[in-house]
Amino acid sequence: MAVNTAGRSQPSIPVTGKTVLAPPQLASSSTSNSSIVLSWDPVAHAVQYTVSICKLDSNISMGVYNTSNTSLTFSGLDAGSLYVITCFAWDLEGRKGDSSNIKQATRPRTPASVNVSVVMNGSVAGLLVSWEPDQEVYGPIEYNVMSDLNLMCKTTSSSCTLSVVGCGEVHTIQVTASNEAGPSYPSSPAVFITFPCPPESLALVESSEGNCTLTWKTVAHADSYMALIETAGSSVETCNTTSNNCTFHCPCGQTYLLSVLAFNHAGSSPQGQVLNYTTLVCCPEDVSVSAVSTDTLDIRWMPSRGAVLYETRAAHSSEVILCNDTAPMCVLSGLSCDTAYSVVVIPCNDVSGCNLACKAHTKDTAPCMPNNVMLNPKNSSCVTVSWTANNRAANYTVSANGDDDKHICSTNKSSCDITDLSCGSTYEVSVEATSTAGPSLPSYSEFLETEPCCPVNLTVDQVTQAITNVSWSHAKGARLFIATLTSSRGHARCHTQDSHCLMGCITCSTNYTVTMEAISHNGRRSNCTYQGFSSSE
- Asked if residues 101 and 162 have their Cβ atoms less than 8 Å apart, the reply is no
Average pLDDT over residues 49-59: 87
pTM over 0.75: no
Residue 366 has pLDDT above 80, yes or no: yes
Average pLDDT over residues 49-58: 89
pLDDT of the residue at 358: 84
CA distance 273 to 262: 12
pLDDT of the residue at 17: 86
Beta bridge partners of 314: 321, 343
pLDDT band at 266 (very low <50, low <70, confident <90, very high): confident
Average pLDDT, the chain: 89
Residue 236 amino acid letter: V
pLDDT band at 387 (very low <50, low <70, confident <90, very high): very high
User: In degrees, to the nearest 5, what angle opens at C-alpha 403 toward C-alphas 480 and 450?
Assistant: 50
DSSP 20-49: PPPPP-EEEEEEETTEEEEEEPPPTTEEEE
Is 253 in a helix, a strand, or coil?
coil
The sheet with strand 82-91 has its strands ordered as 61-67, 46-55, 82-91, 96-105
CA distance 188 to 185: 9
CB atoms within 10 A of CB 268: 14
CB atoms within 10 A of CB 156: 10
- Asked if residues 107 and 82 have their Cβ atoms less than 8 Å apart, the reply is no
Q: Which domains does the chain have, with CATH numbers?
A: 26-105 (2.60.40.10), 112-193 (2.60.40.10), 203-278 (2.60.40.10), 285-364 (2.60.40.10), 371-449 (2.60.40.10), 458-535 (2.60.40.10)
Residue 304 has pLDDT above 90, yes or no: no
How large a percentage of the chain has pLDDT more than 70? 98
pLDDT of the residue at 395: 94
Average pLDDT over residues 286-291: 91
Residue 406 has pLDDT above 70, yes or no: yes
Average pLDDT over residues 34-43: 94
pLDDT of the residue at 379: 87
Relative to beta strand 446-449, strand 203-208 is unpaired
Phi, psi of 473 (to 5 degrees): -85, 175
> Based on the number of CB atoms within 10 Å of its own CB, is 434 exposed (0-12), middle (13-18) or buried (19 or more)?
middle
Residue 203 has pLDDT above 90, yes or no: yes
At 409-439, the pLDDT tens digits run: 999 999 999 999 999 999 999 999 999 888 9
pLDDT of the residue at 293: 82
CB atoms within 10 A of CB 474: 11
pLDDT of the residue at 351: 67
Phi, psi of 247 (to 5 degrees): -110, 135
For the chain, what percentages of helix, strand and coil (3-state, to nearest 5) are there? 0, 55, 45
Q: Buried b / exposed e across 103-119, counting CB within 10 Å, b at 16+?
A: ebbbbbbbbeebebeee
Residue 74 has pLDDT above 90, yes or no: yes
DSSP 490-520: EEEEEEESSSEEEE--PPTT-EEEEEEEEE-
CA distance 53 to 396: 94
pLDDT band at 249 (very low <50, low <70, confident <90, very high): confident
CA distance 174 to 146: 6
Q: Spell out the residues 6+ positions from residue 379 whose beta carbon is closer than 8 angstroms to its own.
A: none
CA distance 427 to 522: 14
Q: Spell out the residues 6+ positions from residue 58 whose beta carbon is closer than 8 angstroms to its own.
A: none
